[in-house]
Structure 1
Amino acid sequence: MATFKVKNKRPRFGNPRSDKHKQKPKYKKKDSRLKFSVNDEAAEITRLSEQYTTSEIDGKSKFSDFPLSKKTLQGLAQANYKIPTAIQRESILPALLGKDILAAAKTGSGKTLAFLIPIFEKLYTRQWTRLDGLGALIITPTRELALQIFEVVAKIGKHHDFTTGLIIGGQNLKFEKNRLHQLNIIICTPGRLLQHMDQNPLFDSTNLKILVLDEADRCLDMGFETAMNSIIENLPVERQTLLFSATQTKSVKDLARLNLKNPIYIAPHDSEEYTTPNRLQQNYVAIELSEKLTMLWSFLKAHPKQKIIVFFATCKQVKYFYEIFRKLRPNILLLPLYGGMNQEKRNKIYAEFCARSNVCMMSTDIASRGLDFPKVNWVVQLDCPEDATQYIHRAGRTARLNNSGESLLVVLPHEESGVVGMLEKTKVPINKINIDEKQLFSPLIKIQSFLAQSPELKEMAKRAFVAYVKSVALMKDKSVFDVSKLDLEGYAKSLGLLVTPRVRFLSKMGGKPKNVNTDVKVTLDEDDEDDDGELFTVKEQTVQKPSGPSDDLPLCAEPKKKVTKVKLLKKSLVVNKKICFDDSGHALEDAIENDVYNIEKARAQLRLADAEDKERYKNLKKARRIAKKEKLKRKAEEEDDDQFDSGEENSVDLDWLPDPDKVYSKDNLVDDKNVVSSPIEKATSRKKSSKKRKIAINVGDITLTEAERLAMNLLQ
């Protein structure tokens, strides 16, 4: 690491050596963390353990009234958590006593602290260290919720010495593997945790003391059933289990899977009149399917300076609506959030939405569970939720912790009665409002022009159309969600499509025979990383059930084999016939010929054509091979020519020099004074030159020793 020295500057005026201008010594700030000796911690742990059994829930108006450690109280105070909520007040003390808890509370009631405080206290009283390994495991259904819990742990647990890790998909798996065995608290999603259990030999959960399922009903449903069953099998049986959710599960099957021992059911809001927050104003509007996009665009234009969340049913709808609205340029920032996005981008969008005050986030149900977005003004459910539980979680993103908010549900006319009745059964107050048609502004012409200019955008519109139709077709309550009543042509036109896309899913459902019930299993994975794949994974199991009771028929028949188009064509194939008629127009039975289409003859012709094609291909291949060889040969010759030419081109041009034969010829020899030599000298030079010529001719026939002697004689 490079180091730099900074010289002290002298004062501009006065004596530089005076004490007045000397720099004051810098003192380090004292660490704000509480430091205790081993004896103090042991005494505090003993005191807390005694208070757990003697304390009562009644009369606890502050966190300081609970038997909590000083480190936990200091972290709560610095994070401005002073007064506990109803769910915190009723669940902290039983959790400290080590009991299993099944807790249900309204959205935004502070369930995160209700299970984080017992985790810190239990590990602190057991003097948990890094060498003890995993002590608490928190499982959440979404990555954003896991990240939010991790941030809360960093706030209130910074005075403790526990190591905490965030294990979610989309991160560096190798980095997590090398550090997993050093973590005391792990916050994770089911898929990533199961991957570490299968692939990481360093993962060890034998010392686990507390298991927490946040949004437990979502973690235990069909989407995570397989993963959760595998995770629970690898966890120790002797542990404390805490389940928290706004809509808690009471299924005996789910509770049996978790091995709960005499769980305490805590629901402080069951006695209240409504299951949603009191300051949440809930409305719904019934409009046609073709008017949804126009209604949303007009709504955003009318609320430019507010914080809005718009929920869609599928990822492809979020992609298309985000792209087309961004091109329309509303007076509000648009952000998309769905499961197929890169994790880094998801984190960035989540942080940006939390920080801004005038923004609209288009999202799937990935943002409907547990996320604490600050100061959300509106929650718009553009696509109707599947059930009341999904509606409660979506609407709960606003009006959190005694804040006010508004929720708007968009339903189709044929869905109105069923959805309203479903919400009234779960004690959800909702009012119907009407939209003034004068305030609706349709951007259909601009959308059609954008789709005509961009084929990619047009393809996105088709995918959004098909994805929405599939989502409605796969809803459980068929009495409310009926695909046959959808105005598909009008919906396609509202998206900017001139031609209604074909939905093969509907043709399969329409071809269902009578007296046959088709059970469709739907697997919805919110964290799917494949953007181009289908949102739903549909597995069809066709079970034939007789209309009346019969003891001879089996309970479940084998599923029918899939009939392809090729098989249908083979079944409907009819051989051509040649029919002759007489003069009166009657067909002659003897003249009917059925062998017009001779299959054997056609096969022979095909074989002959194949042989000709093979021979032609063989000759063509041979000709190409010969041409290739000739080309390589010509190329080699050209390279040789270039090699010889290159020597001449790179040599020095000596054309300007005189011809040495003419200058140094025997007839034209001149001396330095430009005087011609005498005849005697000419004769002498001729004799010497002839002698040298003879010596040069015979040099090739002598040995090396003779050549050396000759050279010495010549030099002498």
Structure 2
Amino acid sequence: MSFDNLGLSASLLRAIADQGYTTPSPIQAKAIPLILEGRDVMAAAQTGTGKTAAFTLPLLHRLTDGRAVRPNRCRALVLTPTRELAAQVQGSVRDYGKYDGLTSAVVFGGVKINPQIALMRRGIDVLVATPGRLLDLHGQGFIDFSDVEVLVFDEADRMLDMGFIHDIRRIVKLLPVKRQTLMFSATFSAEITQLAQGYMQNPVKVEVSTPNATADTVTQWVYPVDKKRKPELLSHLVRDNAWNQVLVFTRTKHGANKLSQLLEKDGIRAVAIHGNKSQNARTKALGDFKSGKIQALVATDIAARGLDIEQLPQVVNFDLPNVAEDYVHRIGRTGRAGAAGIAYSLVSADEADYLYGIEKLIRKSLPREEIDGFEPEHAVPQGRPAQQTRPPARRGGAGAPRGQQPARRRRGGNGGRGNVSGSRAPR
């Protein structure tokens, strides 16, 4: 199938071609026709499979009817949980809508509100927003929701995890009852399904993979290690594998700051990104990471949604998340758009329950490998028998032929970046 078969306008097809995309991903192929029909849609797909374009493209198609936008109003509203994701979505709207003359804007906290007020005074076709700043603007009288035709929840489960449910309820009450509502996420919990029942009209559920599954393009490994030796092991992996770009996840903001400082002292260019950082600092950190000025970006789960780093070669879970679904989103930062990636988890004995919860969620046991010189004194209990065809070879150990070692042994610095499919689908 090509995009020509989906019913999109010629201007959108031109914009898609400009981005170098030819074939829709499975979620795009299934969701776009339903959205064009005007149906409410709940779509679940793995991170990195093109969910943003799956709702952006038909949304823009719907808005190209020549209807004028009134001051302080918008015709489509996209809600996201984080600033980074909001900026990413608005970038997609801008890129795909460039030939249609549609206007878009992004509003979120952490930056001055006056420029956002100025944007809203003119009226906007597509407004992408985080809930808190959106309600601030409405409370001050700068946004009127009466013209909203389409509401999109992007990563709705994360919004619930971050405590936005009350804000979401307040926003939905302000919107027209007659509208199209879309929910897109990598995971759908029981709470999300309940939310959908209250806000959607006979929604069509679209799934292109097993719920909460991880992408086949991501190879996953667990490295058992004592907690106190995790920083040393991470430095060892970065240097020994000549990693020039690695995204590292910690559980807390303090942990992210501390780890980035330890890496810097060890000669590894690193910076932390989390909710306590100013938006300017977060934007600069991400820009430096993408440009190669920074080797290691150390992040909390705020970065698990919205960081779209093309062909990011590897992700490391320095700490396992205490919410199993966050693991899916973390490792979804690599292996995107058909490219290959590897996710490593440094797991200490006190995280055994978290590991078991993750394996239960994704319905498979993760292969383990002990790194020579870092064997743990406190073993990580095996939650259930590992479903492996062979035991993982201990790195550098006797009797570990090169062909039987993990893929990372053959990757080099930023290896494994190649696209594993013949074409790419837009994100």
TM-score tier after normalising by the smaller chain length = 0.7 to 0.9
After superposition, give the CA deviation of every residue in 1:315-372 in whole Å (9 maximum; x if it has no partner).
Answer: 1111122223223323xx3122111111112112212222329721111111111422
Q: Distance in 2 between matches of 1:111 and 1:327?
A: 39
**Could you tell me which residue of structure 2 aligns to residue 368 of structure 1?**
304
Q: Does 2:261 correspond to 1:320?
A: no
Any idea what SS the aligned residue of 1:84 has? coil
Residue 116 of structure 1: SS of its match in structure 2? helix
The partner residue of 1:187 within 128, 131, 134 is 128
Q: Deviation digits for residues 123-160 of structure 1, max 9, x if unmatched? A: 11x32223384110011111111111122222111111
The match for 2:242 is: 304
Aligned amino acid, residue 150 of structure 2: I
2:34 paired residue among 70, 94, 103:
94
- Give the equivalent residue in structure 2 for 1:145: 85
Q: Are 2:80 and 1:127 aligned?
A: no
CA contact (8 A) 2:151 2:180 kept: yes
Partner of 2:347: 411
1:211 aligns with 2:143: no
1:130/1:162 contact within 8 Å kept: no
Q: How many residues align?
A: 374
- Looking at structure 2, the residues matched to 149 and 415 of structure 1 have their Cα atoms a distance apart, in angstroms, of 34
Of the candidates 265, 290, 297, which is equivalent to residue 354 of structure 1? Answer: 290
8 A Cα contact 1:215 1:370, kept in partner = no
For 1:179, the aligned partner's letter is L
Runs of at least 5 residues in structure 1 that lack an aligned partner in the other structure: 1-60, 441-479, 481-716
Structure 1 residue 80 displacement after superposition: 1.3
Partner of 1:379: 315
TM-score (norm 2): 0.82
> Quick check: 1:293 aligned with 2:231?
yes
- CA deviations 1:105-136 (Å, max 9, x no partner) are 01110001000011111111x32223384110
Any stretches of 5+ residues in structure 2 without a counterpart?
Answer: 377-382, 384-427
Alignment correspondent of 1:334: 270
Q: Work out the percentage of aligned pairs sharing the same amino acid.
A: 30
| Pairing 1:194-233 to 2, within 5 Å after superposition | 194-199=135-140, 201-221=141-161, 223-233=163-173
The Cα offsets for residues 447-489 of structure 1, whole Å up to 9 and x where unpaired, read as xxxxxxxxxxxxxxxxxxxxxxxxxxxxxxxxx9xxxxxxxxx
Change (3 A) 1:305 1:409: closer
Residue type of the alignment partner of 1:192: R
Checking the alignment, whether the CA contact within 8 Å between 2:229 and 2:374 is kept in structure 1 is no
Offset at 1:387? 2.9
Q: Which of 97, 106, 109 is residue 157 of structure 1 equivalent to?
A: 97
Counterpart of 2:195 in structure 1 is 254
Equivalents in 1 of 2:362, 2:183: separation in Å? 21
Partner Cα separation in structure 2 for residue 420 and residue 128 of structure 1: 53
Matched letter for residue 296 of structure 1: L
Q: Which residue of structure 1 lines up, in the alignment, with residue 335 of structure 2? A: 399
The TM-score with structure 1 as length reference comes to 0.50
State whether structure 2 residue 200 is matched by structure 1 residue 264: no
Q: Structure 1 residue 166 and structure 2 residue 102: aligned?
A: no
Kindly indicate whether residue 5 of structure 2 is the aligned counterpart of residue 65 of structure 1: yes
User: Per-residue CA shift, 1:676-715, capped at 9, x if unaligned?
Assistant: xxxxxxxxxxxxxxxxxxxxxxxxxxxxxxxxxxxxxxxx
The structure richer in helix per residue is 1
Match of 2:396 in 1: none
CA contact (8 A) 1:298 1:439 kept: no
Match of 2:413 in 1: none
Q: Tell whether the 8 Å contact from 1:282 to 1:429 is kept in structure 2 after alignment.
A: no
AA in 1 matched with 2:6: F
Tell me, yes or no, if the aligned pair for 1:220 and 1:254 is still in contact at 8 Å: no
Report the more deviating stretch, 69-78 or 86-95: 69-78
**Alpha-carbon deviation of 1:294?**
1.9
Kindly provide the amino acid, as one letter, of the partner of residue 47 in structure 2: T
1:39 is matched with none
Q: Measure how far apart 1:308 and its partner are.
A: 0.6
Structure whose CA Rg is larger: 1
Corresponding residue for residue 79 of structure 1: 19
Name the Cα RMSD after superposition. 2.2
- Structure 2: how far apart are the matches of 1:278 and 1:236? 40
Between the two structures, name the one with larger relative contact order (CA 8 Å, sep ≥ 6).
2
Shift of 1:421: 5.5
